[in-house]
Amino acid sequence: MSSSTTGLPELERALRTRGFTYAGRNSEGWPRFTGTLMAAGATHEARVYVDLTGQQLPRVYVNIPANAPAVMPHISSSGSVCYATKGTLVLDIFDIAGQTLACLDRAANVLDLALQGKMQQDLEDEFFACWYGDLCLLDVDSKGKEPLSVLHFEHKGFAFITNNSERTQKKLGAMGLSGATKMEFVEGIQVTTTAKPRPIQGVWPPPNVADLLRWQNILDPKARREIERRLLSASARRKHIAVCVIKSPLAQYAFWVPLRPSRDESPAQALKNARRRLYAAKVHPMSDCRIDDNYVTSRNTPNRKTLAGKRVALVGCGTIGGFLGELLVKAGAGLDNGELQLIDPDSLFPQNVGRHRLGLNQALENKAVALKAELTRGAPTANIKAFPVKVQEVQLDGVDLLIDATGEEALSNQLTRSLADAGKFIPTLTVWVEGPGVAVRALLRDAVEQGCTRCMSARHGEQLFPVIDGAMPNELAGHGCESLYVPFPATVSVRAACLAADMVSDWLNGVVAPRLQTDIVRKGFNKAIEDTDVPRRDNCPACSS
C-alpha cells in the first residue's frame, strides 16, 4: 500500500508553496513541517504532521496567542486544531500532498473562527466528548421534592442519583439491583445554571475544585458561588463525598469530589481550612445518563407530547392489544400521574401465544393481569391497572382516551351505544384487522359529532368505506375442539398496533384527520379508498343520542 502513496519529496514541494518547511520525523515516523497559518488578521506559528500512508488525517498544531478567548472550540490546550470530525473526511491516499494542503486550509479556517469567538455552539457539542468518568445514572425530575440522594455508590462502580428514592428503587429492582442502600456519607448536590457547558483552555477537565470553580465562574458566576457554598456545607456536615449534578439548558452533567471533614478547630479557622482543602480536592467527572421517565419517553420523539399524565383505557388485551399496550407504555402511558387501564375478561390460552405479545410463561392467566405484569417488569414506574372483567363492568369516568382493540365489531358498537345512553363521551380509537390479515384499520372518534364504527356501514350492512378493491377473501381455520378463527400472523397484529399507536400520538399532538386510516398488509391487494373522515350518520343506531 505505502509504495503507491505520495512520496515525501512531493509533499515537501507542495507544503513549501505555503511556506512550510520539513523539520524531521516524529516518533511515529510521520514527517513534520513547520510554518505559519493566517487567522483573524495575524500569522500564527504552526506545525503539521502527515501520515504518508493516508490512514489518518494530518495533525495540525498552532501556538495559541496570549489574547485568545478563554474558551475556544476545536482548539485543545496543546494547540491541536480539530478541523474535521473523525469519519467525516476520508483522505485520498493517492494525493496526500493535495489533501494535506486542503486540511491546512480547513485548520486555518477553524482557527480564524475560533479566535474571533465564533462557533460557540460547537463548543457545547464538544463538551461531552471530553467529560467522562464513572457512570452516574440520574433519576432526577422537576417534580421530585426530596433532596438528592445517592444510591449504590461505589458498590457497582456507578451511582444512582435521585430525588425520589422510592421511584428509583423500583427501577433498580427492574434492573436486578434491588437492595441498594442510600449512601448516608455521600452528599448529593444539584445546581441549576443558565450556561451551557463548554470546555475551557488549559488543563481539561479541571483537575481540582479551584480550577472547576474558575471554569464555572466564566460560564455562570452565580452557579459557581452555589457550587462552592454547597460543597463547603457538605464538608462542614462531615460528608465524605459530594456528587454534584449541574442542570444546564443543554444537558445535565455531574462530577464527584472527595471531601475531608475538618478537625477540631475554631469556627473561623475551620472555614478557612475547609476552603483550602476543598480547593485542592480532586474533581472526578462522571459520565451521566438520564433515566428519569420524562426524558426516556420523550427523547425519541422530541418536541412531541407523550401519553404521560393521561388516563388511557385499553379494551382488549389480545393479539392487537398486547402489542399495543407495550407501545403505549413506551409512549409514556401510566407515567407522571397518568394511568393505563388494561381491560380483558379472557385468559391467554397456550395456542394464543403464536400471535400474542405474551408467551407460554403466562398461559392460562387472565390477559389483562398477565399483560400488566409483563409491562410492569420493563416499566416499573408506569401506573398500570388490570381489570380482568368485561368493559361494561369498568368505571370509565375520567378516562382521556378509550382504545378498543377487541377487534369485535359488535362489542365496539355496543360500547358506543352504552356510553351514549349514559350521556358520556370519551374520545375513542378503535383498531382492528380486516379479513385474514389483508389490512389493518383504525378509526378515531375524537369528538361526539364524528362518526363511529357503526356509521361506517349502511342499514343493511353495506360497506360505505370499502377496504380493498374487490371482495375480501374469506378464510377460517380451526378444527376439533378449537373454535373457528381467522388466521393471520403476529406481524399483522403488530402492524395494527403500530397504526393505532401512531394515531394516538398524532391525536395527542393535535392531528386528528384523517380519522379512518387503512394500511394494506397483504401483498396483491389494493386500497379501495384514501384515508378519510367518517361523517356521523343521523340515524346511526350506535352513536345517535
Tell me which residues are annotated as active site.
82, 452, 455
Which residue's CB is nearer to Zn ion, number 342 or number 543?
A: 543
DSSP 407-446: --HHHHHHHHHHHHHTT----EEEEEEETTTTEEEEEEE-
Kindly tell me which of 440 and 455 has the beta carbon lying closer to Zn ion.
455
By beta-carbon proximity to Zn ion, the closer residue of 448 and 472 is: 448
d(CA 263, CA 271): 11
- Exposed, middle or buried, 466 (CB in 10 Å: 0-12/13-18/19+)? middle
Using CB under 5 A as the binding rule, whether residue 46 contacts Zn ion is answered as no
Q: How far is the CB of 442 from Zn ion (least distance, A)?
A: 16
Q: Is 455 in the site for Zn ion (CB under 5 A)?
A: yes
Query: 348, 396, 534, 543: which one contacts Zn ion (CB under 5 A)?
Result: 543
Q: Pairing between strand 31-39 and 42-49?
A: antiparallel
CA distance 474 to 486: 9
**348 vs 540 by CB, closer to Zn ion:** 540
Q: Does 542 bind Zn ion (CB under 5 A)?
A: yes
Phi, psi values for residue 121, rounded to 5°: -60, -40
315 makes contact with Zn ion (CB under 5 A): no
Start-to-end CA span in the chain (Å): 82
Residue 35 phi, psi (nearest 5): -175, -150
62 counts as binding Zn ion under rule CB under 5 A: no
Task: Please spell the DSSP secondary structure of 196-245, one letter per residue.
Answer: PP---SSSSS-SBHHHHHHHHHHH-HHHHHHHHHHHHHHHHTT-SEEEEE
Closer by beta carbon to Zn ion, 372 or else 454 = 454
Q: Which of 108, 452, 500, 503 binds Zn ion (CB under 5 A)?
A: 452
Amino acid symbol at 363 = A
Interaction between residue 419 and Zn ion (CB under 5 A):
no
Residue of 454, 468, 504, 508 interacting with Zn ion (CB under 5 A): 454
Exposure pattern of 378-397 as b/e (b: 16+ CB <10 Å)? ebbbbbbebbbeebeeeebe
Stretch near Zn ion under the rule CB under 5 A, chosen from 109-117, 142-150, 383-391, 454-462: 454-462
Rounded least distance, CB 543 to Zn ion, Å: 3
Stretch touching Zn ion by CB under 5 A, among 42-50, 252-260, 291-299, 455-463: 455-463
Q: Looking up cell 378509550, which residue turns up?
A: 402
CB 333 within 8 A of CB 352: no
The set of residues, in sequence order, having a beta carbon less than 8 Å from that of 512 and lying 6+ positions away, is: 444, 446, 506
Q: What are phi and psi of 395, to 5 degrees?
A: -75, 110
User: Which residue stretch of 104-112, 437-445, 507-515, 533-541 sits at the interface with Zn ion (rule: CB under 5 A)?
Assistant: 533-541
**Closest separation between CB of residue 448 and Zn ion, Å?**
10
Q: Candidates 10-18, 295-303, 429-437, 449-457: pick the segment binding Zn ion (CB under 5 A).
A: 449-457
Where does this chain touch Zn ion (CB under 5 A) — which range of 312-320, 338-346, 359-367, 532-540?
A: 532-540
Half-sphere exposure of 135 (CA within 13 A, CB side): 9
**Binding marks (x or -) toward Zn ion, 482..521, rule CB under 5 A?**
----------------------------------------
- Binding-residue total with Zn ion (CB under 5 A): 6
The answer to the question of residue 540 lying near Zn ion (CB under 5 A) is yes
The Cα-based distances of 439 to 130, 409, 504, 514 in angstroms read: 50, 15, 19, 17
* Least distance (Å) between residue 533 CB and Zn ion: 13
- Residue with Cβ nearer Zn ion (328 or 455): 455
Point out which residues bind Zn ion (CB under 5 A): 452, 454-455, 540, 542-543
